[in-house]
Structures are given as C-alpha cells and as structure tokens.
A and B are shown apart, each in its own frame.
Chain A
Amino acid sequence: MALIKVQDLKIHFFTIRGTAKAVDGVSFQIQKNQTLGLIGESGCGKTTTAMALMQFVKPPGKIVSGKILFNGSDIVAMNDEQIRQLRGRDIAIVRQEAQNALNPVMTIGRQITELILEHEPVTKKAALARAQNQLNLVGISDKRIDSYPHEFSGGMKQRAMVAIATACNPKLLILDEPTTGLDVIVQRQILSMLNNLKEELHLTSVFISHDLSVVAETCDRVAVMYAGKLMEEAGTVDLYQKPLHPYSQALIGAYPSLKGEKRKLVSIPGAPPRLIDPPLGCRFAPRCSHAMTECNVTEPPIKEKAGHRVACHLIK
C-alpha cells in the first residue's frame, strides 16, 4: 500500500539567468514500511524532490505542477496551517551535517520536548519521559538529556537528530545524506541504529544518498535520478544485479569495492547538463555511450515491467 504517491512533480527555480528545471516530471511511490532510496549525482534533484514532500521548496524555487498524495491528501495543495501540522508530526527529516540543524543554545532534551509539545496534547513531564526514551532508542544515554549540541561528537549529533525527528512517530522519515561526512565506523553504527528503528517504529522512509553501498544496505527500492528526471526505479537487488539504464550501469560500474578483485573502474566522462537549458531528448544522451539519434530528439517515456521502471529508448 502506497503511503506517498508523487505524480509528475515539477519544481522549477526562477533565476535571473533563466528558469532551472530542477525536478522535471518525476513520478514514484513510497510503499508503507519500506525504505526508498533516491540516488544520483550532485544537482540531480534528489534533495529538492525530498524537500518538496514537506513543501520545503525555498524561493526562487516553486512547485509548478504535479501532485504529492499523502494518504489521499495532496501536499502540494495544502495551505500553511495544514502543512505546519504535517511537518514534524507526520513527516520528519534528518539532514546531512546535523550541527547546522541543531539549535546550539538549547539542550537536546528541550529540542525533543519542544517538538512533542507542539504537536501533541501531553504534559511536560510526559514529554520529558518520551524524550529520554528517544535518546535511548538512538543509543545515547538518557543522562545526556541536558547536554548541549556542542558537547556531542559528529556521530552523536546525527543520532540526536534522528531522536528529534522520530519523537512524534512520523509516518514518513526523510533521511538526506545522514551519514555523509561521517567516519566509516560511526556510519556503520548509525545505519544499524536506523535499521533497528525501522523495525521498532514501523518507519516508512526515503533515503537520499550518492553512496551506492549505503543505499544497498538500507533500502528496499531505489530510484535513480539524473538532471531532474527519473532514470530508473526498481527493487534494490533487481537494480544492482540487473541495471537497465546506461546511467545506472555506469554509476554501479564507477563504484569501487573493498573486497574481491581490483578491477579497472570507468568514471563517467563529462558533467551533468545545465538545468536552465537542458538538452532536448534524453538528458543523459550527451554522456551516454549507447546514445542513438532518437535519444537526442525525444525524451524516453518510462516503461514498466514487473516492478522495474526505466526511461530509456534502448529498452523495448
């Protein structure tokens, strides 16, 4: 059952230089209790798409068309009051570099209780007890409830962010590069914690990353984005073992691994296109080693077979 249905979402940024079509007609669904990974290079629109799920599109960006259906209601059409109710309570976010998201002059405990008291009619005492529970849930001793963010290490701050975000048991958790920049051991500990939380709290989540190995470990389905378009979407195992789109194949091919034979890796030549004047046809065509004439003229429609969706003229 789908918790979120994104239909033909378009988010454009209106700048002096022109209109950047950052997200240009993206559709996908997020199933309940599943984790959807959104992968792609910098600038592909994955963060913008995820932010739009909470209507967090900063000007000069604007959602110009499309629908985001959440339990039947369209998030795009919600007014300020409705969206305020939604954020924090139904949909929450954990961003990269938690130190910028945490309030430096408030204790961690206060930041959690503040969120709970905002959305739920409970007493301060009850909120405090829940806050302590949240800290334990993410592996931080509840004695640290009165600590300030600067007293935490990078990994702890990230975990504190997860504690805050899950305080009201949100239906959807958005994780935007939550472990990027953290050491591999801290990353492993945080990913384990997230996996446990997923089961305990029955979380549905969106996991944004440019790191294919982290996505392989945490996601049930993966969507690959490029230059504002969805290139491929499938179950994780399916995508990694049988990637259909040349871009997905190149991404997986550019990924070195620790074990096994040291193979010669090929990085993708060139750079993503400008979003102000994107190329006609498939946006990946200029860098695609399999590009045909058709690719430079018409945009490939999304074709689906057995839960595996791909936008590529090569696939019949």
Chain B
Amino acid sequence: MENDHILKVESLKKYFPLRTGLISRLAGKEASYFRAVDDISFHVGAGEILGFVGESGCGKSTMSRTILKLVEPSGGKVYFNDTRVDALGKAAFKPYRRKMQMIFQDPFGSLNPRRTVSETLRQTIRIHRLANDKAAEDKLITRTLGEVGLNPVDEFWDKYPALLSGGQLQRVSIGRVLILQPELVIADESVSMLDVSVRIGILDLLLTMRDKYGISFIYITHDLITARYICDRIAIMYLGKILEIGPTETIINQPCHPYTRALISAVPVPDPTAETPELPIRGYVPITQDETIGCCRFEPRCPERTKQCQSGQPEMAQVGNSHFASCFLVDEDGYGYDN
C-alpha cells in the first residue's frame, strides 16, 4: 500500500441536477446543478480516524455515500488500498462492500424493528457467508455482542429494537459492522441522536475497534467536541468544499481558516462563568448556491473577506505540518497569517 493509505480520494464530485422548467429548457437555459460535493481530495491512513466537521448541507453525508457508491459519483477518483473503485460495476464492487462499511445516525431507523438482535446479526452472517452452521453462527453472534458491550449476552439475544435504548441500538449496529471485519468504517453522525452521557461510551467503542483491529474511520459530525475526542485529523467542510484539514489539536488550537475559527467560537462551553465570545461570522448558510458560484464558498459570510475572495475558490495551501487551508489570506509561502 502506497504511503499506508487505505483510502485516497481525488477531486471527488457529486452534482445533483436541479429541475429546470420545460420552457426554460426549450429556451436553451442550461441545466443547473446543486454541487453537493465539489472537488474534494483527501486520504485516510491505515488505522487513522479522520473527522469531517461541517454544518448541515455542507456535503459530508453525500460524500460518504458517494465513496461507498450508495450514490454514483459525478466525477473524481476513489482508491481503496490503491485499487481504483469508483468506476467498478456492481458485481466487481461487491467484495469491497464488506471492507467499507457505515454506521448511521438514527439508531431507531437503522434496525429492522421486526428482527431481534440476534436475528439481525444472523442475517448479516448469512448474507456474507461468514459461518458454516448454526452453532458457528451462534458463536459469532455471542462474541460480537460481547465485543460491543451488550452484556450479559443472553439478556439482549431475543430483544426487539423497541425495547432497547438509543445507545444499545447503536451498539447493535456497530456489532453488525464489526462482524464483517471491515477495514474502513464511515460513522455518519453516529452519536448525534444519543444523550450526551451515552456518547462517550459509543465513542470509546469506536476507539477500541481502531486500537484492537486497526480499522480506519471517517467520522462525520457537526459537533467539534466529539470530533476532538476521537479524531486524529479533522477536515472542515463547507458547501461541498474542504476549507481546512489538519491534525486535531492543531485545528482546535491554531485554526487557520476564518470559518474554522467561527465554528470553534460557536461551541458552547459547560462553564457558566465563561464569557461568551462574539461570533465572527455574518448571516446564515445560503439556501441556494447561486450566491457563491465563482467565488470562495465562504465569502458571503466571511468577516475577513477581501475583493480577491470573489475571484474563485483558493487552492489548498500548506500552512503547517500536515495542515492545509483554502484561503487567500494564507501566505504564498504557505505559512499561516497573523494568528
């Protein structure tokens, strides 16, 4: 594996066509697109947890679905263990599905309500032919339930999802993924719908999966706090673009991009004596993309915008060790501007 990268994404794009009326089309108006994922490139190392943080509508979920070919990409390349996978046909991609898995956001919606916990896991085992007989299946189910912390196993074996809490359901979903022994797991807002006190348990479970089995993760969230807890590196997304990417502590403590700074100052602090900082951002996420075509995506809301920002999206420039940002204010020789 080149450079130990389990996943390499180059210029990935996913555009959704917007409906134009018949008259407009007859009049020659070009089809317009919603650029959900707009030319992003990154890699994930073996055993690495890469976080994607951004507001609703920034494209992080679409990106994860595009990588897993749950939706077909509009452009770009995806390499899994150095093999190009984005252009593979359905049958050729099938073996990769086992290696690239996803944990979803809604614990209640992810499981079939008419299957017990063991039946859900058994189905996964059977589809992928992971065991030869029922005894082997039972053994695998028992081991998996133990691994995800659903102990005592007997108590959860015959439970239907309606009787489980959000955290327990999420553990079942994680178990379903773990059985397949994947190499890359995308956790899409996997703890957002859980109570805060339960989140840590689930995040610790993901960390254990990485430490024990070397599974790489892409952790998608809008919550910087949980991203800080488990991610090695964080990528900040906005309207389909990556605006900044770097090691977690660097992004949190020395954010370079004005948007990253705004996100960080917006995070509430559990300390009633702390001062609430001013939010360095104007306005709200635009509902249509028209306002940002041709300029830096963040320009309309950026407190530090200059005329140059209307000329296009700046290239990703290196601003530090493994730290890149897409901002005109970053020095040409690559080192961050006055912090």
Contact = CB atoms under 8 A, between A and B. Distances in A.
Contacts of B196: 210-212, 251, 254-255
Contacts of B198: 41, 267
A45 to B, nearest CB: 14
A292 B210 CA distance: 38
B287 interface: yes
Contact of A240 (B55, B222, B270, B284): B270
A212 B197 CA distance: 10
Contacts of A155: 284
14 contacts: A187-B268, A188-B265, A192-B276, A192-B279, A213-B268, A216-B269, A216-B272, A219-B272, A240-B272, A257-B225, A258-B228, A258-B252, A267-B204, A271-B168
A183 B273 contact: no
Nearest to A152: B287
A304 B226 CA distance: 36
Contact of A217 (B166, B199, B262, B276): B276
Given A185-B281, A188-B279, A237 B268 contact: no
Interface of B: 55-56, 165-168, 192, 195-201, 204, 222-226, 228-229, 252, 262-274, 276, 279, 281, 284-285, 287
Given A42-B195, A256-B228, A258-B224, A186 B55 contact: yes
Interface in A128-156: 153-156
Nearest to B283: A189
A262 B228 contact: yes
A5 to B, nearest CB: 24
Nearest to B227: A258
B191 to A, nearest CB: 11
A187 B271 CA distance: 17
A184 B267 contact: yes
Nearest to A156: B284
B270 A213 contact: yes
Nearest to B53: A184
Given A183-B222, A212-B196, A265-B200, A153 B285 contact: yes
Interface string A193-235: 0000000000000000011111011010000000000000000
Chain B CB within 10 Å, residue with most, of A185, A188, A192, A252: A185
Interface residues of A, number: 42
B225 A258 contact: yes
Contacts of A184: 55, 222-224, 263, 266-268
A191 interface: yes
B144 to A, nearest CB: 20
A259 interface: yes
Contacts of A240: 270-272
A114 to B, nearest CB: 26
Contacts of A181: 192
Contacts of A250: 197
B267 A258 contact: yes
Contact of B166 (A42, A191, A267): A42
A237 B273 contact: yes
A284 B266 CA distance: 34
Interface in A171-188: 181, 183-188
A250 B201 CA distance: 13
Contacts of A237: 272-273
A271 B165 contact: yes
Given A186-B284, A256-B228, A268 B269 contact: no
A185 B229 contact: no
Contacts of A251: 196-197
State the 5 A-B residue pairs at the shortest beta-carbon distance, nearest first: A213-B268, A188-B266, A267-B201, A213-B270, A183-B55
Contacts of B199: 267
A266 interface: yes
A268 B200 CA distance: 9
Contact of A258 (B222, B264, B273): B264
Contacts of B269: 213, 216-217, 257-259
Contact of A252 (B222, B263, B267, B270): B270
- Which of B196, B229, B273, B281 has most A Cβ within 10 Å? B196
Nearest to B167: A271
